[in-house]
Structure 1
Amino acid sequence: MSRILGPARSRRSTRRSLLTVVAVALALVWAFPVYWMLNSAFLDKVTLQSSTPTFLPFGGSLDNFSTVFGDTGFVRALGISLAVTLITVAAAIVIAFLGALAISRFRFRGRRSFILALLLIQMLPAEGLFIAQYKMMSSIGLLNNVLGLALLYTAAVVPFTVWMLRGFVAGVPVELEEAAMVDGLSRTKAFLRITFPLLAPGLVASGVYAFLQAWNEFTVALVVMTEEQSRTLPLWLRGFVQASATRETDWGQVMAASTVVAVPVIIFFLVVQGRMSNGLVGGAVKG
């Protein structure tokens, strides 16, 4: 028996090692553009224009970052992006959570049509809504307004977040709440104490999706935020690149600006990733 199991274990070990090598290679390919952006952010213009690539920023400086932070529009754009993103995340999670709870826990007329509408909305091209969105925001006085942009972002992310949370809510057996109600808890308390903690991974995943969509979105902001003092970070980055291009593009400054825009997303994801893992483990234990 050991002679039979030996070759089988050896084949499994070899296959696992090959898969590990392939996974590491793919990870390196994926991570290289990010590394190159960070590396280039510390190099000067002459070094970057050299025909010999510089893979380590030895002798580099923080001059490119000083130029970025010295731009008068950066701090303003950062504040606008943070405000829009936080409003979008909060509103999307609340609305999507209530919607997912309704279609997963209750049977009402038009439920299937509502679910189908969520899928159909995702098929609409964003560009086809630009004129309607612009006219709507203009009619209610929300052009170049943080609240107006957050409203459009929330409407864009809610359908998908409802669909995402629906799977999490449906995955929690309703019998858990019923058992808690038998023990004397009200329906509301049973939901808050039993079901809601198990939905933490779904809420975090929905928050991550809403955050990424609102932070990185460009086209809707380009249509709605037409004034320079109302630009979000992606719009500011485009203006920064255009200003650099007028004096021959300084790719070091462009990469530094791109790094500054990307860092909050990376930090947010790293923080939330830990909480998501804790939520998954906690949900498994409680289940």
Structure 2
Amino acid sequence: MNPRPSLASRIGVGIAVAAVLIFTLFPVYWMISSAFDAKASSGGQSLLPQEFTLDNFAFVLTDGGFGTYLRNSAIVALVTVLVSAVVCLLAAVAVARFRFKFRTTVLMMILVVQMVPLEALVIPLFLQVKSLGLLNSIIGLMVVYVALSLAFGIWMLRGFVAAVPVELEEAAYIDGASWWRMFRSILLPLVMPGLVATSIFSFITAWNEFIFAMTILGA
């Protein structure tokens, strides 16, 4: 039987938990408090709002262009998910099922790309987008986000495709199914969990990313 913790230890644990909660939740409280405080924009905000106002929300929803930014973010994220899902799935099938020259080299290049920090890609991708004439365009931003999602998506989906027994595909061919029918009825349902996971990753990448959006759209 374990001994019951002493009162001092329980108090210490309670204080530690309270400190962690305050440290974690205070920024959230400060953000909400600033949103409703009329003096927040002038630097006169206190711990508790002195003058309650909704003008900050009105500014964001009208003059701040929040609706436009939200629409653009949603469009870019959804297009990135759709394009990267299709390209990653087809590329994963190619590297997992087909034997071609430099196949191992392609896989190693995909793995190496994931090791490069995003900050190191800002200038090269900026120059590429500039050469394509897509600066200050959400199409250029979509191209960048799709490119950033491909390496992880292809590598992850390759594992899911390789895990599908080849015998299932061969059985479909024996039954007279075409490649497209086999892909649609057998391979795609089996790799759907991986496709969903990579799509979520692509969406989060496109939705949360700021550096490339600021660089390409603010050029």
The normalised TM-score by structure 1 is: 0.59
Q: CA deviation at 1:184?
A: 2.7
Structure 2 counterparts to residues 189-204 of structure 1, below 5 A: 189-204=181-196
1:158-169 to structure 2, matched below 5 A, reads 158-169=150-161
Deviations 1:130-187, CA, capped at 9 Å, x for gaps? 2222222222211100111110111111000001111111121111121222223223
Are residue 205 (structure 1) and residue 202 (structure 2) matched?
A: no
Unaligned stretches of 5+ residues in structure 2: 1-16
Aligned counterparts of 1:125 and 1:131: Cα–Cα separation in 2? 12
Partner of 1:236: none
Residue 33 of structure 1: how far off its partner (Å): 4.6
How far apart in 2 are the matches of 1:144 and 1:62? 32
Deviates more, 1:176-185 or 1:109-118: 176-185
Partner Cα separation in structure 2 for residue 144 and residue 41 of structure 1: 35
Corresponding residue for residue 46 of structure 2 = 49
Structure 2 residue 168 is matched with structure 1 residue 171:
no
CA contact 1:42–1:62 (8 Å) conserved in 2:
no
Q: Higher RCO, 1 or 2 (CA under 8 Å, sep at least 6)?
A: 1
Identity %: 40
The answer to whether the 8 A contact 1:96-1:158 is kept is yes
Partner residue in 2 for 1:115: 107
The reply on whether 1:77 has 2:74 as its aligned counterpart is: no
Aligned to 2:89: 97
How much has 1:38 moved relative to structure 2?
10
- In structure 2, the partner of 1:258 is none
Q: CA deviation at 1:81?
A: 1.3
Deviation at 1:117, TM superposition (A): 0.3
Structure 2 residue aligned with 1:180:
172
Residue 108 of structure 2 aligns to which amino acid in structure 1?
L
**How many pairs are equivalent?**
193
In 1, Cα distance between equivalents of 2:133 and 2:168: 47
Q: Give the 4+ runs in structure 1 shifted more than 6 A.
A: none
> Aligned in 2, Cα 1:131/1:190: closer, same or farther, shift over 3 Å?
closer
| Match in the other structure for 2:60 | 68
- Residues 209 and 34 from structure 1, CA distance in 2 versus in 1: closer, same or farther, beyond 3 angstroms? farther
- After superposition, the C-alpha distances for 1:74-126 in whole angstroms (9 at most, x for unaligned) are 12212221221122111111111111000111111111111100111111222
1:147 aligns with 2:152: no
Query: What residue ranges of structure 1 are gaps of 5+ in the alignment?
Result: 1-24, 55-59, 228-287
Aligned 1:118-129 pairs, distance under 5 A: 118-129=110-121
Aligned partners of 2:160 and 2:191 also within 8 Å: yes
3-state DSSP of counterpart to 1:84: helix
State the one-letter code of the partner of 1:75: G
Whether the 8 Å contact between 1:42 and 1:61 is mirrored in structure 2 is no
- CA distances 1:186-211 after superposition (whole Å, capped 9, x unpaired): 23312211121111111111110000
In the alignment, residue 83 of structure 1 is paired with which amino acid? I
**Offset from partner CA, 1:203-226 (integer Å, 9 cap, x none):** 111110000000111111121111
Deviates more, 1:91-100 or 1:189-198: 189-198
RMSD: 3.0
